[in-house]
C-alpha cells in the first residue's frame, strides 16, 4: 500500500485558470475569450460572426456540445484555450436533454416535478466539467461565458438587495461558481450624481465614464452589486481584457 505521507504535495502549483465571465449583452464577453491563448470556441448561441476566432459549428443539442469537448480531449490539436459561449444557452440544451430522456415537455415535469429536474441537471453539468478538468490538466485555459441577470439576495446580515449574477438556475450557478477559479463580472464604469428633482426631492443619475457608452471593466471581487470571486488575490477593478486579467493574476 502506498504511503500517503510520501504523496503529500507542498507549495503553489501553477495551473491554467478556469474563468466564468458574465455580463450584459454586447459588452465584450466573447471578445475577452478570443484574446486568450489560441482559443477554440464551443458555441451554443449564434453571435460570433464579427469575431475573428476558431469555433465548432453551432451546437443545437447537449450531445453536440459533448462531442466537441471530447474531440478536444481525444484528438491531437494545438489549441490552448477552450471557450464555451454561452453557459445559459448550454443550460437550455441540458434541460432539453433531460426532457427527452424523461419524455416530458418541461424541466419542471422531469421525474414527477417538485424541482427534481434542476437537481438531475447537475449530473449533466458535471459531465461537462469533468471533460473541462481533463483539458485543463493538459494545459488548456477554460473560459465560460454567461449573460447576467438581476436577482434578489436575502442577506442574513442586512436588508435584502438586488445584485447581478450569472443567468443560470441557482443549483447550476452554485456548482459552476465553486468549480471556477475566478468569477468575473463585466460592466461599464459609471459615475453617479445627485441632482435636484424639484419639490424638495433628490434624484441620482448615472453617467458613463469614458467613450462609447462607458469604459468597460471587470470586477473580480464580490460586492452587494454583483457576484464575483477569484483565487488570485485580485481586489481592484480591471479593464475588460484578457491581458489585464493575466497581469493582475501575476502580480498578486
pLDDT tens for residues 180-228? 999 999 999 865 545 555 556 654 444 455 555 568 999 999 988 999 9
Angle, CA of 33, 143 and 54, to the nearest 5° = 50
Angle, CA of 249, 47 and 58, to the nearest 5° = 100
| C-alpha pair distances (Å), 106 with each of 96, 113, 167 | 8, 9, 18
Is a pLDDT exceeding 70 seen at residue 152?
Answer: yes
| C-alpha pair distances (Å), 70 with each of 82, 129, 134 | 12, 12, 10
Q: Could you tell me the residue ranges of all domains in the chain?
A: 14-187
Q: Considering the entire predicted model, what is its pTM?
A: 0.87
User: In terms of pLDDT, which residue wins out, 134 or 200?
Assistant: 134
Enter the CATH code of domain 14-187.
3.40.50
Q: Give phi and psi for 241, each to the nearest 5.
A: -155, 150
| C-alpha pair distances (Å), 180 with each of 4, 21, 127, 162 | 27, 10, 15, 23
Please list the residues that pair with 42 across neighbouring strands.
Answer: 84
Amino acid at each position: 500500500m502506498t504511503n500517503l505521507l510520501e504523496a503529500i504535495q507542498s507549495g503553489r502549483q501553477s495551473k491554467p485558470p478556469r474563468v466564468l465571465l458574465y455580463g450584459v449583452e454586447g459588452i465584450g464577453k466573447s471578445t475577452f475569450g478570443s484574446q486568450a491563448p489560441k482559443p477554440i470556441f464551443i458555441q451554443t448561441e449564434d453571435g460570433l460572426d464579427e469575431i475573428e476566432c476558431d469555433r465548432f459549428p453551432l451546437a443545437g443539442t447537449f450531445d453536440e456540445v459533448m462531442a466537441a469537448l471530447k474531440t478536444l480531449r481525444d484528438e491531437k490539436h494545438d489549441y490552448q484555450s477552450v471557450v464555451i459561449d454561452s453557459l445559459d444557452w448550454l443550460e437550455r440544451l441540458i434541460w432539453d436533454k433531460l426532457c427527452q430522456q424523461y419524455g416530458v415537455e418541461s424541466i419542471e415535469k422531469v421525474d414527477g416535478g417538485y424541482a427534481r429536474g434542476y437537481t438531475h441537471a447537475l449530473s449533466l453539468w458535471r459531465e461537462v466539467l469533468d471533460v473541462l478538468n481533463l483539458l485543463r490538466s493538459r494545459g488548456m485555459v477554460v473560459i465560460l461565458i454567461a449573460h447576467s441577470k438581476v436577482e434578489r439576495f436575502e442577506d442574513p446580515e442586512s436588508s435584502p438587495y438586488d445584485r447581478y449574477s450569472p443567468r443560470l438556475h441557482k443549483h447550476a450557478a452554485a456548482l459552476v461558481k465553486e468549480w471556477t477559479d475566478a468569477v468575473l463580472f463585466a460592466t461599464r464604469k459609471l459615475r453617479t450624481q445627485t441632482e435636484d428633482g424639484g419639490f424638495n426631492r433628490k434624484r441620482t443619475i448615472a453617467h458613463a465614464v469614458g467613450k462609447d457608452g462607458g469604459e468597460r471593466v471587470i470586477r473580480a471581487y464580490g460586492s452587494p452589486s454583483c457576484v464575483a470571486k477569484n483565487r488570485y488575490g485580485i481586489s481592484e477593478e480591471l479593464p475588460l481584457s484578457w491581458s489585464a486579467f493575466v497581469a493582475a493574476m501575476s502580480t498578486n
